[in-house]
Every structure is written in structure tokens, then in C-alpha cells.
């Protein structure tokens, strides 16, 4: 069995907000930021340059991170460059974002016109254009332009629509003061920024604002650690450092050792929420969730859950190709259509697609996040690429699929750590009248798969699962019913 989990973070630029609203304080022409984990180990750096142009101004964000699985493994250098063009009135006109890891290059171009954003994404040889409606007053700066004039006593909550480049869609953002907005000894104020996809929490970060209310650091919780991007000098930001070994930091030892027979039975988890930040957990075909006071009870077994929505519109959406799952591309169609035409059950079709997908990602690595076509081109990836590829093949065969991200358990040592929970992604497919989970990376689904987000392969939903996992307290884990271990 292959072991392909994922890092508890996806670092894509811009890590910080991307534009300054009219009237906001002027910042230095170039700002530099160091990116580090909770234990102080450096991950990389980012920078922001503001350039005046005849049309208005450009905000140029650049980031670089260096990752490595183990000391004897290759170094992954992931770079991102984003250029935001603003007009003379400070309105965003366009965004051009390019990411590179090794020889793999992907890009997104955004053109903003009135209440519409047109996105062109090129990845894995696939060019895809979508038009996204923008709610009135949609921002592109994560709320940065609102902070200088914010009277926290009079308005204790900022709420607005913001365009998210990772999701390629608008989101709802809420900013609230911490410690009642009281400044520290240096006059700095901490605020909490939460991001939502509809009602579903997708990101949490703590912003530290300087005296001028400019953001000087952002701290994002991640499963097993937290990542801080803080303002510093160019010399410190670019200081050489050892590649960050992210996988080890994304593992958390389990509060209980799970018997091998139990993982194929029925397990009940009880979680409470840290820092008072509550959020709903999804219910899949195997996962049932119910509230109990300030906690949630999560039951996981082969038939525990009610499944996702099954109305015609939801199923149609789960069949649709997108920029991450290019299920209408000839290369994926060629793999899926022979299976789609077979006179077998839909469950059997997904099992056959899983078998066909296995040799397409022969090498495991944990860097970045790639689309289905990029994963095939790289012939490498972790569980996120495995899930995105399998979901894309399912859609190519006409089967509704979604990508689930959360946690799973490993008894066996992974990079020196055993008896641990770690971030993981898999697929749910609507087959034979019900939603059922399929795991390409591990080749088998079990009752330690805790679902935290359900998405369509986008990096935002996948990254959100690691953040949400860090907000859970593990109160209890009980083996409700076990069954014999399946034959190999």
C-alpha cells in the first residue's frame, strides 16, 4: 500500500493582501517578509513592491519557499509572482499570477470589469476561461484598505466580500478585534480575520497591526504548527536557511492507539473547539455529525453518514469540469471513457478508475498543489493530487465526485513518526444511489478518515482542512464496533 499524505499547508502567493485602498497610509516602496513555522524554522520569504505607472500603480508580490521531505531527498523550490494593476482611483483592473515548481509552470490571469471577473488559467497544457460574478463592493485586498480608518469601538466587526485567487471566487471575510482592540506596549493591535465560502469556514488568521494600522505580521494556524509571515529587512528575509521539512511538522501523535481491527469498524470521536471558533463539520456517506453542547460527536463507519446533497443541481455541479479537475480534456477522457461504457455498477467503475489512476502518479512527493493534468505531467504528487486526479476521472466518466480533505491515522512509521494523525485528502463519489468514499493514495478507506472540508479540488478548500484541524480539541475517541480486517 502506498503512503501518500500531504503537508498541512499550501503556500501560494500572495500570502499578504494585494492592494492599497485610496487614503490608506503610504508604505515603503518594497516590503520584505520572513515566513517561519511555530518552532522558528524558516520556510521562505515574500516581498511586495509598489510601482507607480501611467495607468495608476502596480503591486508586485513575490514569494519563495524551500521544502524537503527528508535530508537525503531533493529540495523543492516553489516560487510565485503576482502583479496586481490598479487604476488611478485605486480600483483593481487585473491580476497576473504565475507559480513555478521545477519545470511545472501554471498561471492565472484575471480581468476585472464592473461586476464580473474573467479568469484564464493555464496548467498542464490546459487553458480554461471562466467568468465569475462579483457581489457589489467586492474587495481584492483582504480588507487592508479598511483597517486605517476602522473605529473598533463604534464598529466592532468588519464584514465584506473579497475575491480569493486560490479559490478563483469571491468569499465572505469577517475581521474582529482581539483583546477588545487594546494596543500592546508598542501600540500594536491584534485582530482575527476569518474567511468563508458561504457559511463554511475556510481560513483563520491573526493579523498584527502597527501604529499606522498597516499589517506587520500574519499568523495562520496549521495542524501540528502555525505559520507566521512577518515584516522584516531584505537581508533577514533572504537569509539562507535549510529547507523546511514540512511533513514531520504536519503529524500529531494520536491521543489513543487505534487497534488495527477498529479502523474498519465504527469509531466515534468527540471534539470541542479552541478559542471559541466553532464551525460545522461535513457529513459524508461514512461520517455523521451531531452537536452536543459546545462539542460535536463524529461517527465514522461504512454506512454511518447521510451523505452529501443529491438534488439535480448539486449532482450536476459535481460532474462539471473545472480548472483543477479538467474532466473534459481529451487526455482524461481517453482514460475514463472505456470504463464509462462498461456494463458494470458505478461503484465498480470507480474502483476500476482507481486502478487505472494508480500508475499515473508513481512517485510520491509533498510539495505544492497541482491539477489533474499537472499531476499526470509530473508523474508525482501526494494525496491531494491523487484525490484531484481520481475525482476528475470520475467526472469524465459521468460520475458526480467531490474532493474531501481532513485527517487520517497511521499506525505505521511515516518519516519516523507512528501512531499519528496527519492531513489527508480523498474522494467521495455518488455511485449506485449513495455517496461513497474512495482513497487513491492509500487504496483503502477506513474509519479514521475525518472529513473537515468538501471541495472541488481547489487549494483553498484543501488548505482549509489543516487550519480547521488545528482548531479542534480531541476530547474522546471510542471504538463503537469493530469488524475483521479485510483480506489484502
- Over the stretch 305-334, which tens digit does the pLDDT of each residue have? 999 999 999 999 999 999 999 999 999 999
Domain boundary among 190, 217, 249: 249
Query: Does residue 2 fall inside a structural domain?
Result: no
> What mean pLDDT is predicted for residues 483-487?
61
162 shares its domain with 107: yes
SS3 state at 94: strand
pLDDT, position 262: 86
Q: Is the pLDDT of residue 22 over 70?
A: no
Could you tell me the maximum CA-CA distance found in the chain, to the nearest angstrom? 71
pLDDT at res. 367 = 72
Averaged over 91-107, what is the pLDDT?
91
Q: Does residue 179 form part of some domain?
A: yes
CB atoms within 10 A of CB 452: 25
Domain limit, last residue, from 249, 272, 293: 249
Separation between Cα atoms, residue 183 and residue 216, nearest integer Å:
14
Residue with more model confidence, 139 or 11:
139
- Asked whether residue 18 carries a pLDDT value surpassing 60, the answer given is no
Specify if 440 maps to a domain: yes
211 and 308, same domain (yes or no): no
Using a pLDDT cut of 70, give the percent of the chain over it. Answer: 90
pLDDT of 113-161, one tens digit each?
999 999 999 987 889 999 999 999 999 999 999 999 999 999 999 999 9
Q: Is 447 in the same domain as 326?
A: yes
State what percent of residues in the chain have pLDDT above 90.
69
486 confidence band (pLDDT: 50, 70, 90): low
Asked whether residue 167 is domain-assigned, the answer is: yes
The better pLDDT of the pair 279, 276 is held by 279
Residue 245 pLDDT grade (very low, low, confident, very high; cuts 50, 70, 90): confident
CA atoms within 13 A on the CB side of 235: 0
Output the domain CATH number for residue 354.
3.10.620.30
Q: What is the pLDDT of residues 369-409, one digit of tens each?
A: 889 999 999 898 899 999 999 999 999 999 999 999 999 99
Query: What mean pLDDT, rounded, does the chain reach?
Result: 89
**229, 257: one domain:** no
| Closest among 428, 450, 452 to 440, alpha carbons compared | 428
Q: Are residues 422 and 463 in the same domain?
A: yes
Residues 207 and 266 in one domain: no
- pTM exceeds 0.85, yes or no: yes
- Tell me: do 201 and 312 sit in the same domain: no
pLDDT at 101: 84
Same domain for 212 and 295?
no
End residue of a domain, out of 249, 269, 296: 249
Do the domain assignments include residue 22? no
**In this predicted structure, what is the pLDDT of residue 166?**
85
CA-to-CA distance for 455 and 460, rounded, in angstroms?
Answer: 9
Tens-place pLDDT, residues 181-239: 999 999 999 999 999 998 899 999 999 999 999 999 999 998 888 899 999 999 999 99
Residues 267 and 311 in one domain: yes
* Residue 357 sits in the same domain as residue 423: yes
Q: Per the structure, how many domains does the chain have?
A: 2
Burial 6-24 (b: 16+ CB within 10 A, else e): bbbbbbbbbbbbbbbbeeb
8 inside domain:
no
- What is the per-residue pLDDT for 415? 61
In this structure, are 374 and 360 located in the same domain?
yes
Per-residue pLDDT, 257: 82
The answer to whether residues 325 and 419 belong to one domain is yes
In whole angstroms, what is the distance from residue 70 CA to residue 88 CA? 49
Give residue 413's pLDDT: 59
* Residue 172 structural domain: 30-249
112-129 burial, b if ≥16 CB within 10 A, otherwise e? Answer: beeeebebebbbbebebe
Decide if 456 is inside a domain: yes
> Looking at residue 6, what is its pLDDT?
45
Residue 3 scores a pLDDT above 60:
no
Per-residue pLDDT tens for 290-307? 999 999 999 999 999 999
Amino acid at each position: 500500500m502506498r503512503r501518500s499524505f500531504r503537508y498541512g499547508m499550501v503556500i501560494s502567493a500572495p500570502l499578504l493582501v494585494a492592494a492599497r485602498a485610496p487614503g490608506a497610509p503610504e508604505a515603503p516602496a518594497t516590503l520584505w517578509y520572513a515566513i517561519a513555522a511555530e518552532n522558528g524554522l524558516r520556510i521562505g520569504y515574500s516581498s511586495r513592491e509598489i510601482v507607480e505607472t501611467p495607468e495608476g500603480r502596480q503591486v508586485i508580490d513575490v514569494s519563495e519557499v524551500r521544502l524537503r521531505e527528508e535530508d537525503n531527498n531533493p529540495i523543492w523550490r516553489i516560487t510565485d509572482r503576482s502583479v496586481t494593476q490598479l487604476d488611478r482611483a485605486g480600483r483593481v483592473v487585473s491580476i497576473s499570477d504565475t507559480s513555478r515548481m521545477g519545470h511545472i509552470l501554471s498561471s492565472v490571469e484575471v480581468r476585472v470589469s464592473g461586476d464580473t471577473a474573467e479568469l484564464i488559467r493555464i496548467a498542464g497544457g490546459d487553458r480554461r476561461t471562466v467568468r465569475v460574478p462579483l457581489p457589489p463592493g467586492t474587495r481584492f485586498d483582504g480588507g487592508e484598505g479598511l483597517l486605517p480608518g476602522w473605529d473598533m469601538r463604534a464598529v466592532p466587526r468588519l464584514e465584506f466580500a473579497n475575491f480569493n485567487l486560490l479559490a478563483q471566487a469571491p468569499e465572505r471575510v469577517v475581521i474582529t478585534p482581539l483583546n477588545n482592540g487594546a494596543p500592546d506596549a508598542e501600540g500594536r493591535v491584534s485582530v482575527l480575520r476569518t474567511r468563508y465560502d458561504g457559511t463554511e469556514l475556510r481560513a483563520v488568521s491573526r493579523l498584527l497591526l502597527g501604529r499606522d494600522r498597516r499589517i506587520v505580521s500574519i499568523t495562520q494556524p496549521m495542524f501540528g504548527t502555525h505559520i507566521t509571515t512577518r515584516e522584516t529587512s531584505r537581508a533577514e528575509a533572504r537569509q539562507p536557511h535549510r529547507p523546511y521539512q514540512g511533513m514531520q511538522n504536519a503529524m500529531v501523535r494520536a491521543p489513543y492507539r487505534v487497534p488495527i481491527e477498529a479502523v474498519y469498524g465504527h469509531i466515534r470521536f468527540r471534539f470541542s473547539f479552541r478559542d471559541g471558533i466553532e464551525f460545522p463539520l461535513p457529513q459524508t456517506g461514512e461520517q455523521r455529525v451531531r452537536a452536543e453542547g459546545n462539542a460535536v460527536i463524529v461517527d465514522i463507519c461504512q454506512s454511518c453518514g447521510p451523505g452529501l446533497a443529491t438534488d439535480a443541481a448539486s449532482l450536476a455541479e459535481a460532474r462539471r469540469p473545472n480548472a483543477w479537475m479538467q474532466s473534459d480534456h481529451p487526455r482524461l477522457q481517453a482514460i475514463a471513457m472505456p470504463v464509462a461504457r462498461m456494463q458494470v455498477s458505478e461503484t465498480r467503475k470507480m474502483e476500476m478508475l482507481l486502478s487505472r489512476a494508480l500508475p499515473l502518479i508513481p512517485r510520491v512527493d509533498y510539495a505544492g498543489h497541482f491539477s489533474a493534468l499537472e499531476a499526470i505531467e509530473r508523474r508525482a504528487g501526494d494525496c491531494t493530487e491523487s484525490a484531484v486526479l481520481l475525482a476528475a476521472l470520475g467526472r469524465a466518466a459521468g460520475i458526480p465526485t467531490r474532493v474531501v480533505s481532513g485527517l487520517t491515522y497511521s499506525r505505521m512509521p511515516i518519516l519516523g513518526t507512528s501512531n499519528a494523525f496527519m492531513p489527508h485528502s480523498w474522494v467521495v463519489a455518488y455511485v449506485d444511489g449513495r455517496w461513497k468514499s474512495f482513497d487513491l493514495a492509500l487504496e483503502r478507506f477506513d474509519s479514521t478518515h475525518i472529513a473537515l472540508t468538501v471541495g472541488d479540488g481547489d487549494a483553498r478548500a484543501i488548505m482549509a482542512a489543516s487550519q480547521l484541524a488545528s482548531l479542534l480539541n480531541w476530547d474522546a475517541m471510542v471504538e463503537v464496533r469493530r469488524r475483521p480486517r479485510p483480506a489484502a
